[in-house]
Amino acid sequence: MVPGLRTMLVAATILLLSCSSASGACPKGEWVDPDTPDLACTAMTDHTGAPLELVFSDEFEVSGRTFQDGDDPRWTALTGFPSTNEQVNAYDDSPAHATTADGKLRLRTTADYSRLNYFENGWQSVERSYGTPMMQTWNKFCFTEGVIEMSAQLPGRATQPGLWPAFWLVGNLGRATAAESTDGLWPWSYSHCPSAADQEANQHPAQSQKINACLGANWTAQYGLNPHQGRGATEVDIIEAMPGGTHRLQQPNLKLNYCPAISPSEVDKLRMALPMVATALQAAPGIPKDADQRPQQMCLPDWEKQWYKELKQGSPETYGRAYNSSPNMNFWGHWFPFHDGHPGMQTDAVASVNALPQEAFTGQHVYRLEWKAGPDGYLRFLLDGEKQFHIDAHVVTQSREVTKNGSPIGTMLGRQIPEEPMYIILNVDMSMNWGWQDCEHGHCGCCTDCNKAECTNCEGLPWLTSLCEQFPADYSIDYIRVYQRQGSQRTECSPKDFPTEGWIESHKSKYNLPTAAEPLKPVFAGGRHCSGVADCGGPSRGTCSSGICQCREGWTGPACLTAKVGTALKCAPLEDELVGGGTCHTESSLDCGKAQGHGWCVEVRTPWWMPSQERKVAPDTWEKAGGGNGRCRCAKGHGGPHCARTDAVDDSCVHDWFVDPVMNGPDLDQLTEKFCAEAADRTTQEACKQVHWKPHWEQGGEYSSCGAYPRAYWVSSAKCRARRNVPVPTPEPTPRPIPTPPAPAPAPAPSTSGPCSFERGFQGACSIWSNAGNDEFDWSRRSGRTPSSSTGPEDAADGKYYMYIETSSPRQSGDQAIL
């Protein structure tokens, strides 16, 4: 058969099986990619025949998109050294690992070095020799229920072990890889407050589940949560692919003496060769550890007494035949032996393993999840239109009696098919726990670095050389689409019935990546340096002005390559008012229009103990990961986040109090809180309500998720905007004589009564300056309209008043102005 023809036929078959005869253009919804073909929007149905409408799509047709924090309104590429599954890779957010090309999203794995510097009893560093991608839509795009579909080609070779490509969903309350955010929330899908007699059978949710159904309004109200509602970071795995070709996975070939015997008639139902793909619902609480109803790890359950009888091998309602699908005997769930009096927690992996065609590694194939929440809900996994695995809600929602050694310990209450708003994750991991055949030929402890001969020649990993030879390996994604039942669109990350915003805002630091001081940077339009309009998305998306990309209406990102959606769309009014604040690199001579004199990049202060991640770009040369390390500060007469806009000075609203681009997220939030607590004027108070979630509880203010710097700037410039927007009165028909103004009173002599620190925002007519530290004494002036507590003395040359701001780097906390 002609290469690629099978894939096209499969895709066409899926569409024909899923569509009625009606057809039409794709809806012009906020999250629907305008490049989505009309055929994808032809009256789609789920397996029950219910009609579906497209609510999200990303076709990845525009080449050159980047996904570092602050680059894209849909996706964020991550940095980090994952460790929850003993990974040996580092997540790299650079375009070398995550970009678009030739109509596909290209997620690339390489044998490149990354280094993590961290403080633990002194500064230390650790290196990893593989760079892999992770992208997620956390707190940008979420959905509750529906059908998600992805066309993808998996990375590497089908028979070559070593890579672990994945496609999964997680509840928005937890951010994958930010372990502190998921602690006590993953993978809870449970909303009961069990009696004292049932605590052990339900694994003590009042202690183990941070947001549990025993908590009333006195506690939940402080976070904008709903009382007596159990919450969690639920997880659904659509793809966890394991390539390889030299061994089988399941018990019939493992010959474990401690497992119950399997009858010969059942053996063939359980055989699973590589490559394979696992699909799963991860759920907590699970059947308790050591309960009689829990199977031993890697053993087949006694289906009359253990596990979930609906999941027995060969069940036609549960398992599809096309991929020899069967229960995942290798993994029934995680046990977490917590300490300090904590009872510990057992999770359940309600999972299947499914044969994976070798063609999945050479061409595009369609992976699909159908998800319906509630007591009549289900999860249904399909590959190329054929069923792999189906979980009916009653499998997990039913209550059951639990015993240990024959003695009752209580009733285990039902879990839920997920009802949380969930976000999308794509990643590639590498782990000894996933398909790595270690200790072959009696040799153990081999190193795994492709760049070292002692590793590639180690007899315990004879396949490592061929793994290294396939790099770079690309996870190539043609599209991702989300459908929901007609009239039931639910695409919020913080809906009223399952709010998340207040909890996230109240625990921000737990959602930070290792190299970031705030969870997400705002996405601004333009800012990339350019030599022509082609560098800015072409004439329909942007322009190149003075060497800086500026986006046309409706487009965003550094090079104007993506439509403005989600938070980027909602926060556009704040972005329009900014003078500086865009992400930049301090070492760049082009960022912020520096070469044209528009502005310059100042380094954002980070806590001294904060980890940093670097990638090796040449021998002995390391480059910081995580995107830009600074924010733009604009020169007089220029505005916009990246100083690309030319402003008449009197038309630009500079802040009425000091918002410094060098301040990190927590410092800006603290400053905003303090200013709003002290605000006496109605205009500023209203601006404070707009940027805070607290007065609005679960929904937040309309600009509450717009980022620390835009929010601080918005409230600080509120009075200025009000003055600027006051309508000019209609002149009287007959001009009246204008009286001569009295002579101005002499300005008071500067006082030296005390310090006016940067943290106080230069309040108090500071006019005598000193600095503490070894940095250069370097001040810039910011114009003020009238003499006030926010401006310095009058300049005799032009009669204007100025605030003086120190701009050198590093800036010392002791640098101050004296009253």
Give the residue-averaged pLDDT of 270-274.
87
Note the pLDDT of residue 613. 95
Radius of gyration of the chain (CA): 29
Task: Lowest mean pLDDT of 103-112, 343-352, 435-444, 573-582, name the range.
Answer: 435-444
Burial class (CB in 10 A: 0-12, 13-18, 19+), 296: middle
Where residue 625 falls among pLDDT bands split at 50, 70, 90? very high
**Domains contained in the chain, CATH given:** 76-255+270-296+306-437+472-502 (2.60.120.200), 440-471 (no CATH), 515-525+564-725 (no CATH), 755-818 (no CATH)
Cα–Cα distance, 194 to 198 (Å, whole number)? 6
Note the pLDDT of residue 659. 86
Burial class (CB in 10 A: 0-12, 13-18, 19+), 65: buried
User: Which residues, 6 or more positions from 413, have their beta carbon under 8 angstroms from its beta carbon?
Assistant: 190, 192, 194, 198, 202, 399
- Identify the CA nearest to 502 among candidates 773, 369, 698, 712: 698
Mean pLDDT of the chain: 85
Cα–Cα distance, 674 to 640 (Å, whole number)? 25
Give the residue-averaged pLDDT of 275-293.
97
| Six-digit token string for 547 | 């060497």
Where residue 262 falls among pLDDT bands split at 50, 70, 90? confident
Cα–Cα distance, 395 to 416 (Å, whole number)? 9
Output the 3-class SS for 112-179: CCEEEEEECCCEEEEEECCEECEEECCCCCCECCEEEEEEEECCCCCCCCCCEEEEEEEECCCCCCCH
Q: Dihedral sign, CA of 748, 751, 757, 759?
A: negative
| pLDDT (tens digit per residue) in 668-713 | 999 999 989 999 899 999 999 999 876 444 456 889 999 999 999 9
Alpha helices in 232-373 (DSSP H): 251-254, 264-270
Greater confidence, 143 or 545? Answer: 143
Note the pLDDT of residue 7. 40
Note the pLDDT of residue 303. 94
| Six-digit token string for 545 | 């002005």
Greater confidence, 270 or 365? Answer: 365
Where residue 438 falls among pLDDT bands split at 50, 70, 90? low
pLDDT-above-70 percentage for the chain: 81
Give the residue-averaged pLDDT of 711-717.
94
Note the pLDDT of residue 726. 61
Where residue 271 falls among pLDDT bands split at 50, 70, 90? confident
Is residue 349 predicted with pLDDT exceeding 50? yes
Where residue 742 falls among pLDDT bands split at 50, 70, 90? very low
Give the residue-averaged pLDDT of 213-217.
97
Cα–Cα distance, 180 to 106 (Å, whole number)? 29
Note the pLDDT of residue 699. 52
Instruction: Please state the length of the chain.
Output: 819
Output the 3-class SS for 619-687: CCEEEECCCCCEEEEECCCEEECCCCEECCHHHCCCCCCCCCCCCCHHHHHHHHHHHHHHCCCHHHHHH
Task: Lowest mean pLDDT of 63-72, 241-250, 368-377, 751-760, name the range.
Answer: 751-760
Alpha helices in 70-117 (DSSP H): none
| pLDDT (tens digit per residue) in 161-178 | 999 999 999 999 999 999
DSSP for 753-769, written as a single string: SSEEEGGGTTTTT--EE
| Six-digit token string for 499 | 């709010």
DSSP for 167-228, written as a single string: EEEEETTS-TT-HHHHTTTTTB-------GGGTGGGT-HHHH-SS-TT--HHHHGGGTPPTT
Q: Dihedral sign, CA of 374, 377, 383, 388?
A: positive
Cα–Cα distance, 44 to 477 (Å, whole number)? 21
- Identify the CA nearest to 391 among candidates 232, 236, 170: 236
Is residue 637 predicted with pLDDT exceeding 80? yes
Pairing of strands 335-336, 326-327: unpaired
Is residue 553 predicted with pLDDT exceeding 50? yes
Where residue 251 falls among pLDDT bands split at 50, 70, 90? low
Is residue 1 predicted with pLDDT exceeding 90? no
Quick one: residue 447, left, alpha or beta (phi over 0 = left, psi -120 to 50 = alpha)? beta
Is residue 741 predicted with pLDDT exceeding 80? no
Q: What is the reported pTM?
A: 0.86
Note the pLDDT of residue 186. 98
